[in-house]
Structure 1
């Protein structure tokens, strides 16, 4: 068995592209970057429109199992979690929000056994990752001739020896790796690959008759994600983004020729933190039923009750997204069968912990205070609370309602003692009144469980400290590391994309300075036909369809280094960094 590359990086997403670029800076290291998707569409390069690529050919569109504690307003109580499929990964179809979380987020990692990844440890890599000039993809150095779905890792004596990729629906290509395989396939695909390779919960593997290579009960566990509860706010000033404005010729002209105008801004306009609660302002006034309902999997009536102006393309307004930055609910990723073509069973267990609901309710209450402020009053801001049928029994907007809500916790304690329950109720109505509609905590909790949707930040399924060690090495085996969102033991405060870029920068340094890799020179090998790799033909593998194979070999010659080349990324500065590629060559397909 002759190796063809020093390292293989599985997944050209946020972390995978950084790893491939940095590791290939060593002229003696030959890096194979494997990606199941293709180069993404032009829409992902426009700041306002990357989410248009969701649920298309550039999205794995992961559907969760029916949720027990949430998603009551969604079809089958199932969430659709966008996962990028193509160069750039999920970072190509997100809202372009840059953030590194809070120092205490990383302190929590330390307490969970993931040592060496504190905020202080990562700070130099934040500077390294985002202190660079931007650049566009150089076609001469970046090419994609197809797609290369990965199947499983082949182990020899608990050491990763090669990785199988399926081609033409029936042929397995066996990619031999001299040193290490780095999994960067994301928080859903990475645990799936491990379990299909025989690393994971022993009982599950034996049930599916998968040979157990290494028992690790934590593979696929600890899935965490943020949830966002939308609240529409209408305004009377023409200052928001609407579909009628976007589809004007001048808007397109401004962006194409000047990179200005509405299309040059990401849809997320701002965020406010208070404790573990947060509010994000989504600047779109048009809540298109045709687009947003299908992306979120809302039931028809629930969507219309949540976004009252769904039929209008010119209505001015915006959407608040209330969230909890440190959710406590944890879920799982598991296998339903041994077919790589069958999506894994994803159960985030959203809102299983009641504290997550109260945390989001706190953010919803904050909306009232913000909208009541003078700047928002000046633009005629008015809250339109979601009114799903299931929550109507908790709605206290009607004058005939006999239910007396509990005194608000924000009232002065001495005042509560001196007043009757009825007087407290009257004061609560003053605090919570928006458009003559009173909302109680019970109502808001019901709304959260009814209409909250994924925050697109799934992680934790191969957590540092339990599945991988502090150097990202997979425990109980050798030759495998993991670097993607799955290694995050707990969530960062909102946006993880920039954090993953910095973590990948550090991971590259760790791998580069590993004596077992750094001091060895790649052994040059050829197969019987004189090619650069071996092929296993006509070997059947369950599922995993692919019409083409995409394999990018990233390598740098001593006299040819391009620091600023990027591949498959958008023009925003923090999107460009993670896909930095020095030199990429496309290998020929097997014949």
Structure 2
């Protein structure tokens, strides 16, 4: 006998199927439904604290770190917690991993760009690379490509060696474990994974034929099959992704949705932009924040702490807007300085090269948008994790290796290769190209002939960039984007490491396993490099500067360090130097780049910060009770 729930589900799936039959493109219904969800989300009544309301903790930014931190702090029923997010809530498009590129250049993305780059982004409009940054509850975890990587254990020993006590690998490892709920087939007994945390981590069930051959090819080339979140990172693996049964498991879904309405001491407000931290100019104590909701300015105050979790681009911007930062920049835009700190003077990001690209003799293995069928959608809505819709935007495998010219220890990679049965041409030069800001002529001359032809893309990622950038205020308007100059490829060493990454991708493609699908290097000179012979080192050096790309792994703008570190903005306890009751808890505090993607790093930081905050204020509570 059918349950009421199963009847409702069957009726919903029938309705969806009927809607899709009428759609010219299977995703037409999905995008229409997403637009309707967004409209309802904006129109519905939500909790808005009265002006001058008081909370124990105010968290600015509902991204990866902010969502987890709000969850952990609200575990104490005596503490009231306010989480403020500038964006809205997720919709059906966020849920589908294959549609990650479609979320860039939307209301869920701040849509920032770099300043014109002198040494990179030559293939982009105005030499500006895109800088995706989540503007939605869940932050970048709601719009990213869902990779879950922790970096190399030596990264954290290096943090501690810089004077960041409490941040060595053994001291942070259990914080990674705490939030993780691993459903990784073959690793069920691994001591490197936890299976009880809120954040679901899976191997993506859908695997293209090309991806399977690539893993075998990497093994032919000498790379071991590894759990790159285990003891050894060097090797190749199918991607570990933050999905639950093939659906995106964002920080919002994992840490906020389950408790948002059951914990009465947790208050979440969407569509509200924080414009300033309220700081007592005499005592230099953070008292709360000013935020704008529907055109009206509200003030909210904190009894205990104000916490910035707005990400590596917005946390430094808010500090500077509030008078905390380098005097030269603040004076230039007309902001009175309260505290001199090197906010925004360090910015690192992992630059990549979009390619090499290879053709294959397979049929239907590349994830072209027109290969998604109504059947795929029906199966996805019915709960199947094995359809193309659950693919992490087509990028399915990761390979970590150490190049011959690397300066890292022998057990530490300096290049990662992300491989996807996808490319700029797999969507007809629309979404991917627009999201990355590639010029039309770059696409037409180098990639357009690949439309409707099976191919795959390899993207070498520079794990430890030497080139250092910066972030500055453009003006004193809190709604203006900051000036962001990552200084991509300023250091020639970065180009040389990426060159070795390109060669490694080609070496893998030439292995016997890859030749079973006739993997063939796509030889089209990119604009600006026509004068060079394709495939030479000089050609690739030129191409690296044209096809510069990034995975939005921004760090360091509110760098963590001891008092002896002249570039430190926060202490190892994540407290802003010179200001009381103000912390930064997000990837802006990361002192040096980890060897991997940074979404998981933000969660680890938030877990540790939650313990630091609890220890301090619970101890204060016990002292007050005893006295």
Hey, what does 2:380 align to over in structure 1?
255
Hey, what does 1:354 align to over in structure 2?
492
Hey, what does 1:36 align to over in structure 2?
86
Structure 1 Cα separation of the partners of residues 615 and 369 of structure 2:
54
Structure 2 Cα separation of the partners of residues 385 and 332 of structure 1:
36
Hey, what does 2:441 align to over in structure 1?
301
Give the deviation of 1:246 after TM superposition. Answer: 3.9
Structure 1 Cα separation of the partners of residues 103 and 485 of structure 2:
24
CA shift digits 1:261-307 (9 cap, x unpaired): 11122122111111212211022261531112111111111123332
Equivalent residues of 1:308, 1:384 under 8 A apart: no
Structure 2 Cα separation of the partners of residues 67 and 204 of structure 1:
20
Structure 1 Cα separation of the partners of residues 621 and 449 of structure 2:
63
Query: Is 1:477 equivalent to 2:604 in the alignment?
Result: no
Give the deviation of 1:494 after TM superposition. Answer: 2.2
Give the deviation of 1:332 after TM superposition. Answer: 0.7
Structure 1 Cα separation of the partners of residues 369 and 88 of structure 2:
32
Distance change >3 Å, CA 351–CA 473, structure 1 → 2 = same
Structure 2 Cα separation of the partners of residues 29 and 246 of structure 1:
51
Structure 2 Cα separation of the partners of residues 86 and 316 of structure 1:
34
Give the deviation of 1:459 after TM superposition. Answer: 1.3
CA shift digits 1:109-158 (9 cap, x unpaired): 22333332122111111111103255864585499774110001111120
Structure 2 Cα separation of the partners of residues 209 and 327 of structure 1:
33
Hey, what does 1:458 align to over in structure 2?
554
Structure 2 Cα separation of the partners of residues 478 and 395 of structure 1:
59
Structure 2 Cα separation of the partners of residues 511 and 90 of structure 1:
24
Hey, what does 2:343 align to over in structure 1?
219
Give the deviation of 1:241 after TM superposition. Answer: 3.6
Query: Is 1:288 equivalent to 2:428 in the alignment?
Result: yes
Structure 1 Cα separation of the partners of residues 101 and 576 of structure 2:
33
Equivalent residues of 2:372, 2:388 under 8 A apart: no
Structure 2 Cα separation of the partners of residues 307 and 251 of structure 1:
27
Hey, what does 1:5 align to over in structure 2?
55
CA shift digits 1:219-246 (9 cap, x unpaired): 0021111112122211111352432554
Query: Is 1:187 equivalent to 2:187 in the alignment?
Result: no
Distance change >3 Å, CA 124–CA 145, structure 1 → 2 = closer
For residue 289 of structure 1, give the secondary structure of its aligned residue in structure 2.
coil
Long gaps (5+) in structure 2: 1-50, 181-193, 201-243, 245-252, 403-413, 562-567
| Bigger-Rg structure (1/2) | 1
Query: Is 1:449 equivalent to 2:545 in the alignment?
Result: yes
CA shift digits 1:323-362 (9 cap, x unpaired): 2111111111101110011111000000111111111000
Distance change >3 Å, CA 281–CA 124, structure 1 → 2 = same
Distance change >3 Å, CA 70–CA 253, structure 1 → 2 = same
Mean alpha-carbon deviation: is it higher for 382-391 or for 321-330? Answer: 382-391
Hey, what does 2:13 align to over in structure 1?
none
Mean alpha-carbon deviation: is it higher for 124-133 or for 486-495? Answer: 124-133
**Aligned CA-pair RMSD:** 2.1
Corresponding residue to 1:167 among 284, 293, 301: 293
Alignment of 1:59-458 (within 5 A): 59-130=109-180, 131=194, 132=197, 137-138=257-258, 140-141=261-262, 146-156=270-280, 157-169=283-295, 171-216=296-341, 218-231=342-355, 232-238=357-363, 240-243=365-368, 246-259=371-384, 260-266=386-392, 267-275=394-402, 276-284=414-422, 286-310=426-450, 312=451, 314-385=452-523, 387-395=525-533, 439-458=535-554
Structure 2 Cα separation of the partners of residues 66 and 118 of structure 1:
37
Give the deviation of 1:26 after TM superposition. Answer: 0.6
Distance change >3 Å, CA 386–CA 345, structure 1 → 2 = farther
Give the deviation of 1:76 after TM superposition. Answer: 0.7
Structure 2 Cα separation of the partners of residues 521 and 62 of structure 1:
47
Equivalent residues of 1:37, 1:148 under 8 A apart: yes
Equivalent residues of 1:472, 1:481 under 8 A apart: yes
The normalised TM-score by structure 2 is 0.73
Structure 2 Cα separation of the partners of residues 205 and 474 of structure 1:
17
For residue 530 of structure 2, give the secondary structure of its aligned residue in structure 1.
helix
Report the count of equivalent residues: 476
Give the deviation of 1:386 after TM superposition. Answer: 5.1
Equivalent residues of 1:9, 1:33 under 8 A apart: yes
Structure 1 Cα separation of the partners of residues 352 and 52 of structure 2:
50
Equivalent residues of 2:84, 2:269 under 8 A apart: no
Distance change >3 Å, CA 44–CA 168, structure 1 → 2 = closer
Long gaps (5+) in structure 1: 397-438, 523-591
Structure 2 Cα separation of the partners of residues 63 and 519 of structure 1:
45
Equivalent residues of 2:172, 2:608 under 8 A apart: yes
Structure 1 Cα separation of the partners of residues 481 and 98 of structure 2:
30
For residue 177 of structure 2, give the secondary structure of its aligned residue in structure 1.
helix
